[in-house]
Copies of this chain bind each other. A is one copy, B any other.
Amino acid sequence: MQQRITLADIAEQAGVSTATVSRVLNGKSNVAEATRRQVLVALDLLGYERPESLRQTSKGLVGLIVPELTNPIFPLYAQEIEQLLAPSGHTPLLCTQTPGGTSEDEYIEMLVDRGVAGIIFVSGRHSDTGGDVTRYQRLRDRGVPLVTINGNASTIKVPGFATDDRAASRMAVDHLASLGHTRIGLAIGPGRMVPAQRKRAGYEDGMHANLPDQPLRIVETLYTYEGGASAAARLLEQDCTGIICGSDIMALGVISGVRAAGKTVPQDVSVIGYDDSPLIPMTNPPLTTVRQPVAAICRAAVTTLLSAIGGEQPADTELLFTPDLIVRGSTAPAPHTMVS
């Protein structure tokens, strides 16, 4: 190795003594696995190359199939899952999709051909109520352990882990209603997908409970910034003063749409996102949003997958995780109605 490693820096970062760092770097065996890992993490954080002695043998590949990386919630899921997989010694293989690129089925085939130990699906075909569900059954018939994240269609029998989307929209409606909003709209993605269906149900629950006389105002669009901007235009035509969105990116699009219509957020229109990820608190205004419990979902999904890889038979049920409403600056009391 050509690099000079400063033992003191690594020891400080790892929170261990320099003697311990030295023992780990020299591959001595009298070090606890957790301590060894702490030193490994410190080396990585400081950007040092790992000595050969710390090279690990992979316990097998774990495929991680996600839709795309432009919505920051997906990199967040991927990063969290990989971090949780690390101590198990499995090598994560991230399969991301781009329009016109490799499809979920093509990835599955490639992973199975390469002897994958298990697969985690994030927002995959499993949540498409109009899709073919046999691929998951076929995978299990071939003995490939799998778990899903973000909503199983009712026809699919695999362990699933998801944010309680119905509760998410319900808390968003409750929040806007408590601020005096009555004309509340919902901008969501394609209705074939389980998360959109659940969000719609939660919105309906909330409207019936809080504002039974108000019509439902729902726009189905794409889960993108542009989708949000176009939904805003249609919801403003219906005089909405509060808009609940299916994703944060969509909410940022809604904010741009509201501004394009000459109105301000949150004075004229309150906007609530969904997902939350590290940059979202820094938007202008800071976005009020429903935070997916990413860490808890990933922990449950990874633990279940690893136990299935270990030969156990996890239950084919879906666990729902309760999200948190994070109130920031994009929601405010409803504007006073000027018309009598």
Contacts and interface: CB of A to CB of B under 8 A. Distances in A.
A187 B182 CA distance: 48
A4 interface: yes
A333 to B, nearest CB: 21
A97 interface: yes
Nearest to A282: B283
A12 interface: no
Interface stretch (A82-90, A144-152, A168-176, A290-298): A82-90
A25 B119 CA distance: 29
A78 B83 contact: no
9 contacts: A2-B130, A49-B125, A61-B110, A72-B279, A78-B96, A83-B100, A83-B101, A86-B101, A279-B283
Interface stretch (A36-44, A156-164, A203-211, A312-320): A36-44
Interface string A67-91: 0111010111011001101110001
A69 B76 CA distance: 7
Interface residues of A, number: 69
A41 B3 contact: no
A264 to B, nearest CB: 14
Nearest to A64: B94
Interface string A250-286: 0010000000000000000000000000111011111
A225 B281 CA distance: 13
Interface in A118-152: 125, 128, 130-132
